């Protein structure tokens, strides 16, 4: 019984270790054992502080059963959020200048579609960009979860709105993001059939986007791509082959790429790129002075030499602790292990014994830490926002069932 309870209570901690396992595999498969030992500077402090801090707070549970809102007020807030998301979509499409996935459907030019996707990221309004991130990564998943258990009619109306927005921005990850917390929760509640239905919706949405973004593999002669330039023909043909190698690409992305990027950062820092001593944190610049450096872009230029020479800009994002390493070296790795361990314990106390929602709402953010900084995940990534939404809507989604 203790092992069962411990497994539930420490699910996020175990998820971090699980991700680290695959990250290490990717690191070793790319760089051998050259940098493997470096990971211990993060792993050991993380484990020690997690269990030490957890023991300190063992008998200090936070009671969030009370709420400042009545059921009617929460229902009104849900209706407002549905309308807000709909209005925000219109504003976002206005700044983009079109509805991207509809524009992509009407063309068979692979590189034109790539430009359409690039234009989505070039919106100049900071409020729109941050607002879209918070909506897609926090607001939509939470409202979907609340409405499913509160009102099925509003749930399906909101589902249409949410899916349209996710598809319109042509990011396959968004389609999964808005449903994943609900799918996880239904799975934990053993409502397998309902979880499967939603999983099928996610898969259909992803397949639809694959066809939109890759004209050569569109079925039934839909907008076949005709390209005259031989070099471009070869590249488009290569894209078409992706349709037959999706599993290989997915395996590489999940089990190899995350670790490979960690290796790239170790490889270039500090030999080619010096430690930043705080100038790698945007929020710190007003306090310490100097110039902010985004090493994800600078590492990209060193890893993807051909693309950089052609004028392409991109980011070589990596695990969150590497951003601390880029600033303070081994001390940064130790620091990241300490604050993540403390944060996970605080999360566990915040959710008290609500272990289902603890994992369902936070699991995806833990995964995102494998390719994003901690601060960006907390703030612009929507992690802090979804915790606020949980605090507000907890009376509607609290799981009283003892597992």
User: Which pLDDT score is estimated for 263?
Assistant: 95
Distance, in Å, from the CA atom of 369 to the CA atom of 19, rounded to the nearest integer, reads: 10
Distance, in Å, from the CA atom of 79 to the CA atom of 52, rounded to the nearest integer, reads: 43
Q: Does residue 172 have a pLDDT over 70?
A: yes
Mean pLDDT of 339-365: 92
Distance, in Å, from the CA atom of 54 to the CA atom of 349, rounded to the nearest integer, reads: 9
Residues whose CB falls within 8 Å of the CB of residue 324, separated by 6 or more in sequence, listed in order:
332, 333, 335, 336
Query: pLDDT tens-digit profile of 80-94?
Result: 999 999 999 999 999
Q: Which residue has the tokens 């100097």?
A: 290
Distance, in Å, from the CA atom of 176 to the CA atom of 334, rounded to the nearest integer, reads: 33
The number of beta carbons lying within 10 Å of the beta carbon of residue 287 is: 8
- Dihedral, 273, 376, 284, 313 alpha carbons, nearest 10: 40
Query: pLDDT tens-digit profile of 197-245?
Result: 999 999 999 888 888 887 776 665 555 444 444 444 444 444 444 344 4
The number of beta carbons lying within 10 Å of the beta carbon of residue 137 is: 24
User: Which pLDDT score is estimated for 252?
Assistant: 62
**The tokens of 322 are what?**
């590497």
| Per-residue buried b or exposed e for 183-211, using 16+ beta carbons within 10 Å of the residue's own CB | bbbbbbbeeeeebeebbeebeebbebbee
User: Which pLDDT score is estimated for 245?
Assistant: 41
Q: Which of 135-144, 198-207, 388-397 has the highest mean pLDDT?
A: 135-144
Distance, in Å, from the CA atom of 250 to the CA atom of 257, rounded to the nearest integer, reads: 10
Domain limits, the chain: 1-61+253-351, 65-213+373-403
User: Which pLDDT score is estimated for 327?
Assistant: 96
User: Which pLDDT score is estimated for 110?
Assistant: 74
Query: pLDDT tens-digit profile of 317-329?
Result: 899 999 999 999 9
Provide the residue count of the chain.
403
User: Which pLDDT score is estimated for 279?
Assistant: 93
Share of residues in the chain with pLDDT > 90 (%): 59
Mean pLDDT of 110-121: 82
Q: Which long-range contacts (CB under 8 A, 24 or more apart) does 65-69 make?
A: 65/394, 65/395, 65/398, 67/392, 67/394, 67/395, 69/392, 69/395
Distance, in Å, from the CA atom of 27 to the CA atom of 34, rounded to the nearest integer, reads: 9
Q: What sections of 97-171 are H helices per DSSP?
A: 100-105, 110-120, 126-134, 140-150, 152-168
Query: pLDDT tens-digit profile of 56-78?
Result: 776 665 565 566 788 899 999 99
**The tokens of 222 are what?**
């839909």
**Nearest-CA neighbor of 327 among 289, 295, 297, 287?**
295
| Per-residue buried b or exposed e for 33-54, using 16+ beta carbons within 10 Å of the residue's own CB | eebeebbebbbebbeebbeebb
**The tokens of 57 are what?**
């707070």
Q: What is the band of 337 on the pLDDT scale with cuts at 50, 70, 90?
A: very high
Q: What sections of 217-329 are H helices per DSSP?
A: 230-241, 246-252, 258-268, 285-288, 295-303, 305-309, 320-328
User: Which pLDDT score is estimated for 311?
Assistant: 72
Q: Does residue 116 have a pLDDT over 90?
A: no
**Nearest-CA neighbor of 395 among 7, 69, 28?**
69
More confident residue, 274 or 210: 274
User: Which pLDDT score is estimated for 242?
Assistant: 39
| Per-residue buried b or exposed e for 105-134, using 16+ beta carbons within 10 Å of the residue's own CB | beebbbeebeebeeebeebeeeebbebbbb
Distance, in Å, from the CA atom of 268 to the CA atom of 298, rounded to the nearest integer, reads: 10
Q: Does residue 146 have a pLDDT over 90?
A: yes
User: Which pLDDT score is estimated for 56?
Assistant: 75
User: Which pLDDT score is estimated for 211?
Assistant: 83
Q: Which of 160-164, 280-284, 306-310 has the highest mean pLDDT?
A: 160-164
User: Which pLDDT score is estimated for 212?
Assistant: 85
Q: What is the pTM of this model?
A: 0.86
Q: What is the band of 5 on the pLDDT scale with cuts at 50, 70, 90?
A: very low
The number of beta carbons lying within 10 Å of the beta carbon of residue 313 is: 11
For the chain, what is the mean pLDDT? 85
User: Which pLDDT score is estimated for 194?
Assistant: 93
Residues whose CB falls within 8 Å of the CB of residue 91, separated by 6 or more in sequence, listed in order:
128
Distance, in Å, from the CA atom of 211 to the CA atom of 56, rounded to the nearest integer, reads: 52
Helix (H, G, I), strand (E, B) or coil at 179: helix
User: Which pLDDT score is estimated for 251?
Assistant: 56
């Amino acid at each position: 019984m203790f092992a069962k309870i411990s497994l539930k209570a420490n699910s996020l901690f175990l998820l971090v270790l699980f991700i680290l396992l695959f990250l290490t595999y990717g690191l070793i498969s790319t760089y051998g054992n050259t940098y493997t030992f470096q990971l211990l500077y993060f792993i050991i402090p993380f484990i020690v502080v997690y269990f030490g801090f957890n023991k300190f707070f063992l008998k200090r549970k936070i009671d969030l059963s009370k709420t400042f809102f009545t059921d009617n007020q929460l229902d009104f807030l849900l209706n407002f959020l549905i309308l807000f998301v709909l209005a925000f979509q219109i504003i976002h499409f206005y700044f983009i200048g079109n509805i991207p996935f509809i524009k992509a459907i009407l063309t068979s030019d692979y590189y034109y579609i790539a430009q359409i996707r690039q234009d989505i990221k070039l919106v100049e309004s900071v409020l729109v960009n941050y607002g879209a991130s918070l909506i897609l990564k926090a607001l939509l998943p939470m409202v979907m979860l609340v409405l499913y258990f509160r009102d099925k009619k509003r749930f399906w109306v909101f589902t249409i709105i949410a899916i349209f927005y996710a598809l319109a921005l042509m990011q396959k990850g968004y389609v999964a993001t808005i449903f994943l917390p609900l799918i996880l929760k239904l799975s934990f509640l053993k409502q397998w059939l309902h979880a499967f239905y939603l999983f099928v919706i996610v898969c259909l949405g992803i397949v639809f986007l694959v066809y939109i973004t890759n004209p050569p593999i569109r079925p039934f002669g839909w907008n076949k791509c005709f390209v005259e330039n031989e070099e471009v023909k070869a590249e488009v043909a290569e894209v078409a082959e992706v349709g037959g190698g999706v599993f290989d690409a997915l395996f590489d992305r999940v089990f190899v790429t995350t670790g490979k990027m960690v290796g790239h950062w170790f490889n270039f820092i500090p030999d080619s790129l010096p430690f930043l001593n705080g100038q790698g944190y945007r929020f710190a610049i007003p306090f310490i002075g100097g110039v902010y450096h985004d090493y994800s872009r600078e590492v990209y230029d060193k890893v993807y030499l051909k693309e950089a020479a052609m004028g392409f800009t991109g980011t070589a994002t990596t695990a969150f602790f590497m951003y601390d390493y880029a600033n303070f070296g081994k001390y940064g790795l130790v620091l990241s292990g300490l604050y993540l361990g403390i944060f996970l314990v605080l999360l566990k106390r915040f959710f008290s014994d609500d272990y289902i929602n603890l994992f369902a709402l936070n699991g995806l953010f833990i995964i995102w830490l494998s390719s994003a900084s901690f601060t960006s995940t907390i703030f612009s990534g929507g992690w802090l926002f979804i915790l606020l939404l949980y605090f507000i809507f907890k009376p509607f989604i609290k799981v009283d069932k003892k597992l």
